[in-house]
C-alpha cells in the first residue's frame, strides 16, 4: 500500500466524521501490551530520526520535486493495484490501474509526472493484498503494531509480506539503489504526514488508542465498500461522493 496517501486519508476521514468509532468500540487488541511497547518504540524513532529528516527534506526540496517523487512511487503502486484488482475480480479497476502505469511510465518520464490523471483523467484506485484477503473473506484478526511500519493486523501483516513481493523497488537486484529508493520513500511518506501528525498530537488524548481505532475502522470500511461494489476513489475533489451507489456511514 502507499502509506502517505492512505495515512493522510485515514486521519482526515476520522477527524471529519468525528471519530465514528470511539475508543474501544471496534478494537480487537489482545496484544495491547506488546503493541504499546512497539508503538512507543516507533514514536521514539520518529521523534529522534524520521520527523527531523522528513522536515529537513520538506524544507530543502521544492514542492514540484517532492510531487515528482510521490508520483514515482504512486506509479509503481498502480501496477500492484492492477494485480490485486484482478484477484478481486474487478477488471475495470485493473484496466484503469494498468493504463495509468503504462501511460505514466512511457509519457510521464518513468512516472515522475501524472499524465494519466492530469491529462487523460484515468481514475486512480488503491488496492493491496490485505484488502484482497478481506475481499476473499479472511477476517481481520487481532490488531498489531509493527516496528517502523506502524498500525496493522494479522491479515494485513500477511498482506504486507505479499505486497513486498509485488513491489518493483523491493525486487530490484541493485542493492544500493533498492535501499536508497526505500529510504527515499520512507522520508517522502513521513514528509507528507507532517501536518497530519501535528493535528493528531493536538486532538488525541491517547495516541495509541486513536491510531488503533482509526486504522481498524478505515480498513473495515474499505472491505465493506468493496464487498458492496462501492469503491473509494482517490482522484475526486475533497468532499465529493465516492459513488452514487454508496451508503452514508
Maximum Cα–Cα distance for the chain, whole Å? 49
pLDDT confidence of residue 243: 38
pLDDT tens digit sequence for 89-130: 999 999 999 999 999 999 999 999 999 999 999 999 999 999
146 three-state secondary structure: strand
Band (245; pLDDT cuts 50, 70, 90): very low
pLDDT confidence of residue 14: 41
Core vs surface per residue 67-81: b (16+ CB within 10 A) or e:
ebbbbbbbbbbbbbb
Q: What percent of the chain has pLDDT over 90?
A: 68
Q: Are 75 and 214 in contact (CB under 8 A)?
A: no
pLDDT confidence of residue 227: 67
The residue behind cell 461494489 is 229
pTM above threshold 0.75: yes
Ramachandran bin of 110, using left for φ above 0, alpha for ψ from -120 to 50, beta for the remaining angles: left
pLDDT tens digit sequence for 156-175: 999 999 999 999 999 898 99
Amino acid at each position: 500500500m502507499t502509506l502517505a496517501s492512505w495515512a493522510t486519508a485515514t486521519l482526515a476521514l476520522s477527524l471529519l466524521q468525528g471519530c465514528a468509532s470511539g475508543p474501544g468500540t471496534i478494537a480487537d487488541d489482545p496484544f495491547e501490551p506488546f503493541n504499546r511497547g512497539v508503538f512507543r518504540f516507533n514514536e521514539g524513532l520518529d521523534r529522534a530520526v524520521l520527523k527531523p529528516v522528513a522536515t529537513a527534506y520538506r524544507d530543502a526540496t521544492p514542492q514540484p520535486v517532492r510531487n515528482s517523487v510521490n508520483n514515482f512511487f504512486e506509479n509503481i503502486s498502480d501496477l500492484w493495484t492492477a494485480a490485486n484488482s484482478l484477484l478481486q475480480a474487478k477488471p475495470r479497476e485493473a484496466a484503469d490501474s494498468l493504463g495509468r502505469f503504462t501511460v505514466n511510465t512511457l509519457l510521464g518520464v518513468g512516472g515522475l509526472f501524472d499524465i494519466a490523471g492530469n491529462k487523460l483523467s484515468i481514475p486512480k484506485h488503491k488496492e493491496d493484498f490485505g484488502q484482497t484477503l478481506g475481499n476473499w473473506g479472511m477476517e481481520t484478526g487481532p490488531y498489531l503494531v509493527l516496528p517502523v511500519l506502524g498500525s496493522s493486523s494479522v491479515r494485513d501483516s500477511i498482506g504486507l509480506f505479499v505486497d513486498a513481493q509485488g513491489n518493483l523497488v523491493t525486487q530490484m537486484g541493485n542493492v544500493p539503489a533498492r535501499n536508497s529508493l526505500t529510504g527515499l520513500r520512507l522520508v517522502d511518506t513521513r514528509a507528507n504526514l507532517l501536518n497530519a501528525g501535528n493535528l493528531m498530537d493536538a486532538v488525541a488524548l491517547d495516541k495509541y488508542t486513536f491510531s488503533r481505532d482509526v486504522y481498524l475502522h478505515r480498513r473495515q470500511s474499505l472491505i465493506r465498500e468493496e464487498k458492496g461494489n462501492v469503491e473509494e476513489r482517490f482522484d475526486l475533489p475533497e468532499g465529493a461522493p465516492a459513488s452514487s451507489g454508496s451508503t452514508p456511514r
